[in-house]
Amino acid sequence: MSDEPSLVPADAPSEAPAAAPAAALDDAWVIFGASSGIARAFMRIAAQHGKPLVLAGRDVEDLAIDGRDLVLRGSPAVRTLTFDADAPASFAALTAMIDTALPQPFNVLLAFAVLPKPQDIVADPDLARRVVAINAGAPLALMQHLAPLLQRRGGGRLVVLGSVAGDRVRPGNPVYGASKMALHGFVQALAPGLARSGVGVTLVKPGPVDTPMTFGRATALRPASAEDCAAAIWRAAQKGRRVVYFPALLRWVMLAVRLLPDFMLRRLAK
């Protein structure tokens, strides 16, 4: 198999080239981190609304299985794309391929992240570097490549999955929170330039969601379902919302958290 990125039909062997007419991928959703729980739920909703899909992730054979299901659910075309957030040197070739394959406006969902346990980061300080690299560095670099493509199309939407943890970095999980805060800042700075070209940006800040990434973790709130979160993201994208909290009540909870004095936040963390 070639190491070069390529769009592969979901019902074809991973070595096969993309063969569908370009029009079959008009108004496509390109999903980075397509194997994540929220992304998979979002893909099913997009398929039910008749959207073409490009599933980007490390295990394209696994994503091809999802792709066949998504075609049955109503997507007119599903392609897979090899994507590894740990390999930023591949981003230029990857976006060049997307530029060729998707000549019309398209949409992007960035839904990849890592969430190690805080005690694991304390035990292995290099893990902190990797969390920041995957959760902030990789999406920032990828957006730098994708933004010119979206601007040249003059439309489409960029949806970025952040976290309420990035609203205020708390002592319990500082590295993860800091990585998401950096991501939020970049998205908010990028949005005005994209908007001038007709590209919408939606930043999503979910609380705990029941996915493999959060399985077995103690959380202050009961995790919401990935399906409900994905539905909220879909609605927000269709309405052109700029910032979305899920569940919606967290908007006001996090406002209160941001206003807390530092000494109170430290006390709550004990």
pTM score over 0.85: yes
pLDDT-derived band at 137, boundaries 50, 70, 90: very high
Copy the structure tokens of residue 189.
């700075």
Bigger pLDDT: 71 vs 13: 71
State the distance between the two ends of the chain, measured CA to CA, in whole angstroms: 52
Name the amino acid, one letter, at 11: D
Report residue 8's pLDDT band, with 50, 70 and 90 as the boundaries. confident
Q: In angstroms, rounded to a whole number, what is the distance separating the alpha carbons of residues 53 and 4?
A: 20
- Which residue has tokens 């194997």? 35
User: Among the options 29, 106, 112, 176, which is catalytic?
Assistant: 176
Helices (H) and strands (E) in the chain, counts: 10, 10
Domains of the chain in sequence order: 8-15+22-269 (3.40.50.720)
pLDDT in tens, 49-99: 999 999 999 999 999 999 999 999 999 999 999 999 999 999 999 999 999
Known active-site residue 245: no
pLDDT tens digits, residue range 196-238? Answer: 999 999 999 999 887 766 655 556 667 789 999 999 999 999 9
Q: Which two three-digit tokens encode residue 54? A: 């490009």
- Coil, strand, or helix at residue 263? helix
